[in-house]
Structure 1
Amino acid sequence: MTAMINRIVGMTVIMAVDGGGSRCRVAAFDTGGEVLARATVDEHASLSLGVQDTWVHIQAGLSALRRTLGFAPTWIPDRLVMGLAGSLQEGRRAEFLSLIPARFSPVLVTDGLAQLMGATGGKPGICLAIGTGSVLHWLDAEGNTGMAGGWGFPVGDEGSGAWLGMQLIRHYLWHRDGKVKQGSLINAVEQRIGSSVSAIQQWSTQSQSSVLAQLAPMIFEHASQGDELALSLLEEAAAVALELVALAPAGLPVCIVGGIGEQLKSELTRSLGTRVQRAEGDALHGLWQLYAHHPQLCG
């Protein structure tokens, strides 16, 4: 530990933050892109879910990095580069940045742009990110960027974990009304959320995307067992994801990331074929790429 501290003293350290609807991932990089430390906080870092909470959770991540690096509780990075869900809404963005002391030299971009840069290594390509939410970003050969989807839950984020959870609740309600037949997935969701009107309405009126996304794993579980409803929901999720890909410039390679994206990858690859490529790095590496090589995109 002493050797690490001695090596880092006097070095410029960049702290990267990848924030989404379910967790906050942080890393400390040197200027050459070497990872000095990593940590994960199992709380959201999405401005859509709470501006002040997001800063609290990022500070928890910073504290974890300090402990790993053996630094004093007062240490701060030379640059704080963040890719956070919900950061395109100007009011939330301004409120959030006002919470951060200027000495952090904060840079804020969307989580999707960070994922794009990490997945493609800063080269032309598409990043289809499907986790609690969903969004597609691309970078073309001329350096132009674009996005599709990512409008947020509940009106957007099609194919995501939250969307799958909402669809499952909807089908359970239809089952209660007699429109959907019984099956193993319906039985499982009834056991999970309850059968009383009061219990059901706690879920049918749920506005937290991260809560609804907790239902997604049971869909994959029952799909693997051949449940018709589970299979149809995953087929629909893949279809809406492919619609996003079709909105990007044709022919670009596609990286599929995120917890739900990884589980849908085999289905998506059947349609996209050799365009699907393995991601070079994660969103944290993407934030370092933005800092080091694409400062013009950090506006």
Structure 2
Amino acid sequence: MLLLAIDAGATKTVLRIATPSGDVLAESRGGPANIATSVEQAAKSMEGALRSAIQTAGLTEDMLHNGEVKWIAAAGAAGAEVGGRPEKLKAFFPYLTIFDVRTDAYTSCLGAHGGADGAIVAIGTGSVGYAICGDRNHRVGGWGFPQSDEGGGARIGLAAVRHMLAASDGRIRESDLSVAVRHYLQELGSDPMTWSVGASATDFAALAPVVLRTAKNGCGAAARLLESAGKDIAGLLDALLKKDGFSEIKVVFTGGLATEILPWCPQAVRDKGVLCQGTSLDGAMKVAMQRACLT
């Protein structure tokens, strides 16, 4: 028996092969694997990462299909909350004895607390809150950009572009932020007034560092955008923890923008944070181990 853990994210795939006792045999990486966007692309990324890891571990691809090894797999997949997507993904891997597909929020939360009860607030391109308490779990936010993901980089970037457009129109005064955003977009070779047409969440999130840098240089307009993002994160956390039985659990703040946005959150939010104990990949491995014990 071998265990397979997969962190199937929107921008990359990370995969680990381990023994039932937890000894890591290999890790590998692959391309994007958001199953809400494309199950086929996600499966291709995972398949490539799996074949690479098998080679690194000194195994053979025949061991996937000849029944010599039971493969117990678990994935934390971006987009797994979309109905029917996990089942479609599993169909690409008929040779896996068990393939447990969870949301990446679930495995991130499980990994962050070392398998114990707890909550995460992830702040990156988007934002999401997720909590596990016994056999119950609870999610707040993370429903996509622009309709959700408050406090995340894409929403910060969108607010910055709106500020720049308003200043360009003469509806508000120019600020260091409007000038910086305009300059950034011009450096991309784009017309700042039309750049946002067709821009993705990732494109908007790339403006978050511009906002952060301008705020640190004393721009009040940029600071107000970040204060608003901090309030959004506070509201997300409040909604997450006010559910019965969840109020006392520990919280880990994760994501590429967490360390940058937390200083703009209320002190009460910052005081709740504890150290992260592991990753989404670690959480997926814990799920695989749990399934192996039941096999």
The CA distance in 1 between the partners of 2:144 and 2:292, in whole Å, is: 26
Change (3 A) 1:29 1:295: closer
- Residue 119 of structure 1 contacts residue 280 of structure 1 at CA under 8 Å; is this kept in 2? yes
Residues 232-251 of structure 1 aligned to structure 2 (within 5 Å): 232-247=224-239, 248=241, 249-251=246-248
Deviates more, 1:117-126 or 1:287-296: 287-296
Percent identity of equivalent pairs: 25
Superposed counterparts of 1:255-294, under 5 Å:
255-268=252-265, 270-293=267-290
Find the counterpart in structure 1 of residue 212 from structure 2. Answer: 220
Taking structure 2 as the reference length, what is the TM-score of the superposition? 0.83
Cα separation, 1, equivalents of 2:119 and 2:83: 25
* SS of equivalent to 2:196: helix
**Which residue of structure 1 aligns with residue 14 of structure 2?**
25
Question: Does structure 1 residue 194 correspond to structure 2 residue 182?
Answer: no
CA distance in 2, matches of 1:165, 1:75: 47
TM-score (norm 1): 0.82
- RMSD of aligned residue pairs (Cα, Å): 2.8
Identify if the C-alpha distance between structure 1 residues 293 and 95 changes in structure 2 by more than 3 Å, giving closer, same or farther.
closer
Task: Tell me what 1:115 maps to.
Answer: 108
Q: Which structure 2 residue ranges, 5 or more long, are not aligned?
A: 65-69
- 2:67 paired residue number: none
Between 1:147-156 and 1:229-238, the stretch displaced more is 229-238
For 2:203 and 2:63, locate their aligned partners in 1 and report how far apart those are by CA, in whole Å. Answer: 34
Paired with 1:233 and 1:188, the residues of 2 have a C-alpha distance of 14
> Once the two structures are superposed, what CA deviation does each residue of 1:9-42 show, in whole Å capped at 9, x if it has no partner?
xxx332222233333222223223343333334x
Match 2:35 to one of 30, 43, 47: 47
Q: Measured at CA, do residues 231 and 121 of structure 1 come closer, stay the same or move farther in structure 2, by a change above 3 Å?
A: same
Q: 1:204 is paired with a residue of what secondary structure?
A: coil
Contact 1:15 1:79 in 2 (8 A): yes
Structure 1 residues 195-248: Cα deviation after superposition (integer angstroms, max 9, x where no partner): 998664342332x32232222222222233222233222222221111111112
Alignment of 1:1-299 (within 5 A): 12-41=1-30, 43-72=31-60, 76=64, 78-98=71-91, 100-104=92-96, 105-140=98-133, 142-194=134-186, 200-206=193-199, 208-247=200-239, 248=241, 249-268=246-265, 270-293=267-290
Aligned to 1:4: none
SS in 2 for 1:103: coil
Q: Distance in 2 between matches of 1:61 and 1:229?
A: 44
8 A contact 2:73–2:288 mirrored in 1:
no
Residues 129 and 211 of structure 1: CA distance in aligned 2, closer, same or farther (over 3 Å):
same
Counterpart Cα distance in 2 of 1:273 and 1:198: 39
Uncovered stretches (5+) of structure 1, i.e. residues with no partner: 1-11
103-112 vs 277-286, greater mean Cα deviation: 103-112
* CA distance 1:80–1:292, change in 2 (3 Å): closer
- For these two proteins, the number of residue pairs brought into alignment is 281
Label 1:197 to 1:95 Cα distance change in 2 as closer, same or farther (>3 A).
same
Does structure 1 conserve the Cα–Cα contact (< 8 Å) formed by 2:227 and 2:265? Answer: no
Letter in 2 for 1:68: T
The letter for the 2-side match of 1:36 is L
For 2:262 and 2:25, locate their aligned partners in 1 and report how far apart those are by CA, in whole Å: 31
Question: Does the CA contact (< 8 Å) of 1:21 and 1:132 recur in 2?
Answer: no
Query: Conserved in 1, the CA contact under 8 Å of 2:164 and 2:179?
Result: no
CA spacing shift, 1:238–1:61, aligned 2, 3 Å? farther
